Amino acid sequence: MWNVHGRVENANGFFYIRKLNNVRICSAEVRMMNRPHMSSDLVADLIVEGVRDNPLTRPVHVVRDFKFGYGLRVSYHQAWLGVEKAKGEIFGDYLMSFDQLRWYVDVAKSCNPGSYIEFECDDDTKRFKRLFVSFHCSISGFNYCRPLLFLDGTFLKGRFRGNLLVATGKDGNQGFFPVCFAVVGSENQDNWHRNLGLVEVLPKVFPMAVHAYCLYHLKMNLRHHLRGMFYGLKEKLITLFGKCAYAPTEETFHQCLVELKTKDGSRVEKFLDDIPYDHWSNAYFRGQRFGEIWSNVTESFNSWIQEERHLPITKLIDSVRIKLMRKIAKRRELVNKWNGLICPKMVSKLHDGFNTSRPWIVSSFGNDVYEVHSHPSVSVDISRRICSCGELQLKGFPCTHAVGAIQKSGHDLSLFVDQYFYIQSYQESYSFPIYHVPSIWKPDCNVDGDSEVVLPPLSKKQPGRPNKKRIRSNGEKVRQITCSRCGKVGNHNKKSCKEAL
């Protein structure tokens, strides 16, 4: 008996309910929240704007929103299909996006002269192999940044997975500066040539450069190497390892190293055998790291493109281009508001050094050589830019002792700061434009008009720990956890774990 009748009024476009008989005679048992007409197409239509605002929308979010927003129960499969269709409508098809690269690469290079964009696919299988992208603005702007490259890779989250390899620099104000990136089917030595193969390939690509490992990843590897050890001792060893890495002089380094090996000699020595000192310690590093011992700048880039990692490949590349274009424009506006010679963050470091060195007594020995009576006291040679603490040589930036000595000498402090930290260099690094790529030229079919299209790479299952499960008597799946200390499966008390050790 329940029915409703309504119509749209042409005069104002409003929907009017003309008749409503709100009487239900069906029992509660037959009222169901599942609706057979709630297809994935309808789900896609309802969530398309939400997906446009948030490309990271997940099917579980759709199921929850339909439950609380509409009072309807949508299956996970319907929600997943709806999300995929909405993404396809907004960002394009994942499959055809690989073939659209042929069009995009040509147009992007013609619109941005001086850019290096190379796209490769397998001649036999016609499957995607790799794509390398470095825009002209990044290539030319890097000349005014510190000569440091931070290399890392991350997984893509789209339907066909793959890896994103990135090389990032740092500008004069400590901000990350994207230099180039590549999308590859997998992270291997061949792809890094154009960490499995990175260490082997670096001497070939950069024969005159020196390479250092990220301290964060080394600590994570050491923590894994010391698994099963008492937690307090393990963390103490990791802290001592960090002190060795930061030690600016060989004497300080070996003092920390002796203490480190004394605590647990055999396991730590075995770990250190695989990593030469010049690849991780400040004291033995053969180049200049400008105080950089972490590769967290690449993590900043990965966070910067967190949403884009879920997009089809052509949309991914163009979205990174757009973000880079906006970043350049924003930093151009920012630098126009600065005054002075040195970038603000580096000026702040100079002020901190000045405030720290104010209580110290500085004695002159002539020829711009000074002794700073700190704890401990050090000698500073201003003309040669050498401090016995070692930090001035490592960072290319006045340490606290050097700031005190320079102030005593009466010289201009800014003259002892490397050019990379000058506002002028910062301005030059963002002075090169990046241009738009009009999608109006985008063809409706494959570029050459032939029947062959570029296919996606064969996606591989990402490495990870298998999820072991068992079945309860009621049919419910339960995850089983293996103890990392004794290897037993399931819950057990600490006593049995210690006995196993």
Given the structure tokens 């690094």, which residue do they identify? 429
Q: CA torsion angle for 329, 178, 97, 459 (degrees, to 10)?
A: -160
Domain that holds residue 301: 95-212+294-332
What are the backbone angles phi and psi of residue 477, rounded to the nearest 5°? -85, 135
Identify the domain boundary among 44, 72, 90: 90
Residue 140 lies in a domain: yes
Give, in degrees to the nearest 5, the angle at Cα 445 between 440 and 451. Answer: 155
**C-alpha span between 162 and 168 (Å, rounded):** 20
Residue 22 lies in a domain: yes
Q: Are residues 312 and 397 in the same domain?
A: no
SS3 90: helix
Q: Report the pLDDT value the prediction gives residue 118, as an integer from 0 to 100.
A: 92
Q: Are residues 114 and 198 in the same domain?
A: yes
Residues 6+ apart with CB under 8 A from 498: none
Residue 396 lies in a domain: yes
Mean pLDDT, each 10-residue run in order, the chain (501 residues): 88 90 70 64 89 86 88 87 87 84 90 92 87 94 92 83 89 92 73 59 80 89 87 89 90 89 78 86 85 84 86 89 93 92 93 91 89 90 89 86 91 89 94 85 57 74 48 43 48 47 36
Q: Are residues 208 and 138 in the same domain?
A: yes
Given the structure tokens 């000498």, which residue do they identify? 409
Helix (H) or strand (E) holding 166: strand 163-170
Residue 288 lies in a domain: no
Q: Which long-range contacts (CB under 8 A, 24 or more apart) does 51-60 make?
A: 51/83, 51/86, 51/87, 51/90, 52/90, 54/307, 55/87, 55/91, 55/307, 55/308, 55/310, 55/311, 56/306, 56/307, 56/310, 57/83, 57/86, 58/83, 59/83
Neighbours of 155 (CB within 10 A): 14
pTM over 0.85: no
Q: Are residues 168 and 312 in the same domain?
A: yes
Q: Are residues 220 and 325 in the same domain?
A: no
The alpha carbon dihedral of 90, 96, 101, 103 has a sign of: negative
Q: Are residues 132 and 100 in the same domain?
A: yes
Neighbours of 13 (CB within 10 A): 7
Strand locations in 258-391 (E): 361-366, 369-373, 378-381, 386-387
| First CA to last CA distance, the chain | 73
Q: Are residues 203 and 83 in the same domain?
A: no
Identify the domain boundary among 234, 253, 279: 279
**C-alpha span between 291 and 397 (Å, rounded):** 9
Cα separation values, 387 from 15, 248, 320, 360, 394, Å: 80, 11, 42, 15, 10
Q: Are residues 36 and 99 in the same domain?
A: no
Residue 41 lies in a domain: yes
Q: Give the strands of the sheet with 128-134, arranged side by side.
A: 116-121, 128-134, 176-184, 163-170, 150-155
Neighbours of 152 (CB within 10 A): 20
Identify the domain boundary among 36, 64, 90: 90
Q: Are residues 406 and 301 in the same domain?
A: no
SS3 181: strand
Q: Are residues 125 and 27 in the same domain?
A: no
Residue 388 lies in a domain: yes
Residue 284 lies in a domain: no
Q: Report the pLDDT value the prediction gives residue 467, as an integer from 0 to 100.
A: 47
Q: Report the pLDDT value the prediction gives residue 473, as an integer from 0 to 100.
A: 38
What are the backbone angles phi and psi of residue 223, rounded to the nearest 5°? -60, -40
**C-alpha span between 243 and 254 (Å, rounded):** 10
Contact 193, 211 (CB under 8 A): no
Residue 200 lies in a domain: yes
Q: Are residues 273 and 388 in the same domain?
A: no
Q: Are residues 262 and 301 in the same domain?
A: no
| Cis-peptide, bond into residue 376, ω within 30° of zero | yes
**Number of structural domains the chain divides into:** 5
